[in-house]
Amino acid sequence: MLHHRLRGVSKQKSLVYVGGANDYFYGSGAIPLSLTSLTGGVASSPAAGDVVIVAFAGRVYTDYNLGLATSGYTELADLYSPDTRDANLGVYAKVMGSTPDTSVSATNPEADKHYAIAAHVWRNTDVTSGIVTPIATATGTDTGRPNPPSVTPTVSGSVIIVVGAGTTYDDTYPDLTAPSGITLFQTNPTYGISVGIGAYVGWTSGAYDCAAFGDGSTSSNDSWCAASIILKPV
């Protein structure tokens, strides 16, 4: 099974990718994303102390504060980008307790809209100064290809998580792809919106500026939201 263990400095534990998940939905109510069938990492579900990062996106024609029904998550970003087709993106994180969550539920603000959700789970993350800090955000118009902003880690062994959501025309499903250097990519397009989350595991020094996600829409009617998150090893 593919996994990443990053060598840190002496006395540090390496960051470990536990796995990821994604889904999409249409309708009303809280829709759960399973955390017991994670893929791409070292385990199928999170353990106590693991950090779950969730990206929840919708193409909704107003600035909604998207949210999660599952308790205990910290909202890291609430982003909105208006164009002919508006993008909404919420980013959240939670440290798993002694009984880790088996799912996370997102609440859609409008019952007749489509939403996409994706998650990453990481182990050995330093959360002493916050669940995951710092986080940088960006929004844009005239394209549905998200472009996460530049960030500069300061701790050896750090991993950069990039998140993006983009809109597209009603009858298409914008399957975003990871830009060069981004791995462990989770994405799930639905009617008019797509969300993606991936990781840059090769940082050694200086600023890291992720390129725009691939595919999706290049229409001037579309919009996007994005975030870059630094995970530090304990």
Q: Which pair of structure tokens corresponds to residue 102?
A: 């088996």
User: Which one is predicted more confidently, 203 or 113?
Assistant: 203
> Is 133's pLDDT higher than 90?
no
Q: Tens digit of pLDDT for each residue in 159-213?
A: 999 999 999 886 667 689 999 999 999 998 788 899 999 999 999 999 999 999 9
**Is the pLDDT confidence value at 120 over 80?**
yes
**Is the model more confident about 2 or about 71?**
71
- 170 DSSP 8-state letter: T
What is the spatial distance between Cα 19 and Cα 42, in angstroms, rounded to a whole number? 7
Mean pLDDT, residues 17-29: 87
> Under a CB-based contact definition with an 8 Å cutoff, are residues 113 and 60 in contact?
yes
State how far the Cα of 63 lies from the Cα of 68, in Å rounded to an integer.
16
Sequence-ordered list of residues with C-beta below 8 angstroms from that of 162, at least 6 positions apart, any chain = 148, 182, 197, 198, 199, 200, 210, 226, 227, 228, 229
Beta bridge partner(s), residue 186: 197
**Average pLDDT of the segment spanning 71-96:** 95
Mean per-residue pLDDT over the chain, rounded:
90
Q: Which residue has the higher pLDDT, 64 or 112?
A: 64
pLDDT at 8: 44
- pLDDT average, residue stretch 10-30: 84
Is the pLDDT score of 135 beyond 70? Answer: yes
- Do residues 61 and 111 touch, judged by C-beta distance below 8 A? no
Q: Where are the beta strands (DSSP E) in 27-152?
A: 30-34, 51-58, 67-68, 74-81, 87-95, 103-107, 114-123, 135-141
